[in-house]
Amino acid sequence: MQFNFAAASLKVEAGSLVVAASEGTVLLPAAAKADKASKGAVGRALAASRFTGKAGQLVEILAPAGLSVNRLIVLGLGKAEEFDASAAQSAAAAVLGRLKGSNETAVTFDLEGLKGAKVAGADLAANLVFGAKLKSYAFDHYRTKDLDERLSKLTKVTVLTTDVAAAKKAWAPLDAVAEGTYLARDLVNEPPNVLYPAEFARRAKALVKLGVKVTVLGETQMKRLGMGALLGVGQGSERESQLVVLEWKGSRKKTAAPIAFVGKGVCFDSGGLSLKPGAGMMGMKGDMGGAAAVIGTMRALALRKAKVNAVAVLALVENMPDGKAQRPDDVVTSLSGQTIEVLNTDAEGRLVLADALWYAQDKFAPKFVIDLATLTGAILIALGGEHAGLFSNDDTLSGQLAEAGKAAGEPVWRLPLGKGYDKLIRSKIADMKNIGGQHAGSITAAQFLQRFVKDKTPWVHLDIAGVAWQDGEQKPLIPSWGTGWGVRLLDRLVADNYED
Ligand code: BES
Ligand code: MN
Ligand code: ZN
């Protein structure tokens, strides 16, 4: 798909033209112009379809009389004072959604002139394109049939704006974030026979071109280091476990301590010997959604040359049952030296994260560490698909993430940690066990992780089991299964707080 900006004076004569009205059917300039050219047909169409200009309303007029475009789309933008960047993204996405099943190849937006809006000019143009790009993602590599009906015909999105150069400048960093989100979605959507740890690591190597240093540790190296918790999870799989380390040095101070991200990368979670039932196993190709979000963020940071030093550690394994698989009752020794009684092999995410978290802190002494993981089914019960769960030992970092989440449209909700919960993971024979009791499952998982966080490291754990993928099209900017959740959030956290 091509995304362009063009001067507001451009006369649009082909494809679909998108114009707008605000609440109370107040036509913006381009809509008024189209109404005039059509001798009032636009106004009649709006009246006939109960259009009032509320946000989200959309009227499609095909082959409009007096205009040479194939289609005029009138968008409702709602109240000017509520029309912000995120509303602009959703508005553009709604149009792309509508055109998906049509024969249209080109669409042009002309939405300038909403007085008093929170987003306008170059920022408006850039955010329209951002929404269009996020929405136009598709994962179709494995389709061979009915492509003519299934694939979108749209190849060109143009936004008219008064300052093309400024719009391009505002778009560049958003394009980087969209690209990072695309990468994360691709990885989550890939089937697990294709995307196993070594293949994930190969794809990570593609970031070298962008100036990211990529190091891959295999099982021999991890054994030498003592990563018994991570290796225990992978030992029932034919596929070799991998630890991928990504380093981006964008800060002017090359030696400044980096910020660190850690991602759970369980390329498939069968549960291991504590096997999941069939229905619960479906979708577990997405159990590497944390690692996907983290590598997507690194791609975004590198593409936009973010002025920050950042490292990412991806813990890539496959959790399978096998003669060699880890047993419930096994005791493993983690990289930190602490021992873990593995009572349920399906609580594997915390085991791989234990070693990845320790490695990240030990090797890089980061400013903070944030881990992302599709860690517990319990977080879906608590928060559904609307928020990710946030757990932390640091109020400042938590607050920054809460703000970034609201601004970027990926909100988080903080849940408590505490000594009482920590008691629930005491083991009879080792330093801890890998499951708590029946209750507070997301919290006991987070307590487990906290045992691998050094006291002085500000740490956040994001449980993204409810947001990493979705069934159907529930959210305005997300067309497909893998959401790429986390890339927009982390990029925003960095942009607003951690760049030179
Ligand atoms: N990957 C799952 C969590 C999950 C469940 C993600 C549903 C997305 C949707 C994780 O490894 C897991 O199996 N967790 C167990 C933990 C339990 C055994 C303590 C769970 O949530 O049931
Ligand atoms: Mn599991
Ligand atoms: Zn899992």
- State in Å: Cα 378 to ligand 1 middle: 8
User: Each residue of 342-394: pLDDT tens digit?
Assistant: 999 999 999 999 999 999 999 999 999 999 999 999 999 999 999 999 999 99
Task: State the DSSP string of 97-128.
Answer: HHHTTSS--EEEE-----TT-SS-HHHHHHHH
The whole-angstrom separation of Cα 168 and Cα 112 is 16
> Smallest Cα–Cα separation from 296: which of 414, 402, 441, 178?
178
Ligand nearest, relative to CA of residue 264: 3
Handedness of CA 91, 9, 126, 299 (dihedral sign): positive
CB-based contacts of 399, cutoff 8 Å, min separation 6:
none
Ligand nearest, relative to CA of residue 434: 1
Mean pLDDT of 317-324: 98
Query: 3-state DSSP call for residue 222?
Result: helix
pLDDT above 70 as % of the chain: 100
Query: 3-state DSSP call for residue 260?
Result: strand
Which of the listed residues 288, 376, 383 should we mutate to test ligand 1's pocket, taking the one with most ligand atoms within 8 A of CB? Answer: 376
Is the separation of the CB atoms in 281 and 270 below 8 Å? Answer: yes
**pLDDT at res. 322:** 97
Which of the listed residues 346, 449, 469 should we mutate to test ligand 1's pocket, taking the one with most ligand atoms within 8 A of CB? Answer: 346
Instruction: Indicate which residue of 156, 276, 406, 454 is catalytic.
Output: 276
Q: Decide if pLDDT at 473 tops 90.
A: no
**pLDDT at res. 149:** 86
CB-based contacts of 285, cutoff 8 Å, min separation 6:
188, 190, 191, 192, 195, 267, 268
Q: Decide if pLDDT at 472 tops 90.
A: no
Q: Domains plus CATH for the chain?
A: 2-162 (3.40.220.10), 178-497 (3.40.630.10)
**pLDDT at res. 444:** 98
- State in Å: Cα 345 to ligand 2 middle: 7
Q: Decide if pLDDT at 81 tops 90.
A: yes
Ligand nearest, relative to CA of residue 375: 1
> Smallest Cα–Cα separation from 376: which of 261, 453, 464, 288?
464
pTM of the predicted model as reported, rounded to 2 decimal places: 0.98
Query: 3-state DSSP call for residue 490?
Result: helix
**pLDDT at res. 84:** 97
The whole-angstrom separation of Cα 286 and Cα 295 is 14
User: Each residue of 9-38: pLDDT tens digit?
Assistant: 888 889 999 999 999 999 999 999 999 999
Atom of ligand 1 nearest to the CA of 445: 19
63: exposed, middle or buried (C-beta count within 10 Å: 0-12, 13-18, 19+)?
Answer: exposed
Which residue's CA lies nearest to atom 8 of ligand 1? 465
**pLDDT at res. 406:** 97
Find the radius of gyration of the CA atoms of the chain: 24
CB-based contacts of 440, cutoff 8 Å, min separation 6:
378, 421, 424
Q: Decide if pLDDT at 470 tops 90.
A: yes
**pLDDT at res. 336:** 98
Which residue's CA lies nearest to atom 5 of ligand 1? 377
- State in Å: Cα 425 to ligand 3 middle: 18
98 labelled catalytic = no
Tokens of 258: 């980096």
Q: Mean pLDDT score of the chain, rounded to an integer?
A: 97
**pLDDT at res. 449:** 99
Is the separation of the CB atoms in 114 and 20 below 8 Å? Answer: yes
**pLDDT at res. 310:** 99
CB-based contacts of 326, cutoff 8 Å, min separation 6:
232, 233, 235, 236, 272, 273, 332, 342, 345
- State in Å: Cα 78 to ligand 1 middle: 41
Atom of ligand 1 nearest to the CA of 441: 19
Query: 3-state DSSP call for residue 409?
Result: coil
- State in Å: Cα 259 to ligand 1 middle: 27
The whole-angstrom separation of Cα 189 and Cα 179 is 15
> Smallest Cα–Cα separation from 126: which of 76, 164, 82, 180?
164
Buried b (16+ CB within 10 A) or exposed e, 217-254: bebeebeebebbbbbbbbbbbebbbbbbbbbbbbbeee
**pLDDT at res. 479:** 87
419 labelled catalytic = no
Mean pLDDT of 66-81: 96
- State in Å: Cα 129 to ligand 2 middle: 38
Instruction: Indicate which residue of 71, 133, 185, 350 is catalytic.
Output: 350
Ligand nearest, relative to CA of residue 448: 1
Ligand nearest, relative to CA of residue 389: 1
Pocket of ligand 1 from Cβ distances under 6 Å? 269, 287, 344, 346-349, 374-378, 435, 441, 465
Residues with CB under 5 A from ligand 2 (ion): 269, 346, 348
Q: Decide if pLDDT at 303 tops 90.
A: yes
pLDDT above 90 as % of the chain: 96
Each as own residue / partner, the long-range contacts of residues 220-223 (CB below 8 Å, 24 or more positions apart, any chain) are: 222/355
- State in Å: Cα 478 to ligand 3 middle: 23
- State in Å: Cα 347 to ligand 2 middle: 5
**Amino acid symbol at 101:** G
**pLDDT at res. 450:** 99
Q: Decide if pLDDT at 494 tops 90.
A: yes
